[in-house]
Amino acid sequence: MVSADRLAEQVADHIRGQIVRGELADGAPLPKSEELIQRYPVSMPTFREAMRILEAEGLITVRRGRLGGAVVHRPSPANLGYNLGLVLAAQRTGIDDVATALRHVEPACAALCAGRPDRATAVVPVLRELHEEYLARIDDLVEVVGVSRRFHEALVGLCGNPPLIVLAGALEALWSSHEQDWATRIRETTGVPLRERRAAGEVHGRILALIEQGAADEVHRLVTEHLTAAQRNPSPAGPAAVIDAGLIRRQP
């Protein structure tokens, strides 16, 4: 006899496969529980356990109450970042270690962006729009940190190498969630001088220009230097803070 836990895993496996293959679209509602139980003849407790498995993996969000139901989420680097964060937190890993990893992989992504033959249409317009938005929001610390985060995520997401996009994107999501949390908290205390925000914006402009020129080696060096200078936050004074994976799921 198959155990209830195994049946729940089988139901979760089948629905997971549909999500990964695109048969269930991102953002679409999952069919109602009554319909799914007819499709998968299992008990309600077993079905609920299958839903808990998928929700823990970040593949669905279950809404409670009268208008409840489940919404589908395609796998993403943020999902991986959350699970990676759990593993690293269990090892008492500090956010500074994530910063070190990014200083090695993000410059490589930027260099790949510069090497793309289609960068003029696939990369440069996206980065330019983000750079212009950064300059427009420079007076608001939380807003500008959010735009800066998206600029750096775009360097990864537009590099054109799917495995690197996923792996580096997970690190980027983990770092960015801590940086955004830091910006929200520090705005109410010391803040960040406007001149520092402007300096970061100038570097973003130079990164954009080098990618547009196809200068892979130069942009690799510049991004490395930029991250080394910029990643002093969200590191607190004293010992590095242990990673909080939950921050990823609390991001807007």
Question: What CATH code is carried by the domain that includes residue 132?
Answer: 1.20.120.530
Residue that finishes a domain, picked among 56, 72, 88: 72
Listed residues 72, 100, 120: the one ending a domain:
72
CATH classification of the domain holding 56 = 1.10.10.10
Whether 31 and 114 share a structural domain: no
Helix, strand, coil percent content, the chain, rounded in steps of 5: 70, 5, 30
Averages of pLDDT over runs of 10 residues in the chain (252 residues) are 79 94 92 88 91 90 76 86 89 90 96 98 98 96 89 96 93 84 64 86 98 98 93 51 79 61
66 lies in the same domain as 100: no
Structural domain for 136, as ranges = 77-249
Alpha-carbon torsion (166, 172, 173, 174), positive or negative: positive
Residues 67 and 111 reside in one and the same domain? no
* Residue 180: burial class (beta carbons within 10 Å; 0-12, 13-18, 19+): buried
What is the reported pLDDT for 236? 43
Are 192 and 151 members of one domain? Answer: yes
Q: Based on the fold, state whether residues 112 and 38 are members of the same structural domain.
A: no
Shared domain for 114 and 189, answered yes or no, is yes
Give the end of a domain, one of 44, 72, 100. 72
Copy the structure tokens of residue 47: 């079905």
pTM: 0.76
- Same structural domain, 46 and 149: no
> What domain count does the chain have?
2
In a shared domain, residues 163 and 39: no
Q: Does residue 217 share a domain with residue 168? A: yes
Q: How far apart are CA 135 and CA 205, in angstroms?
A: 10
Place of tokens 């089948």: 14
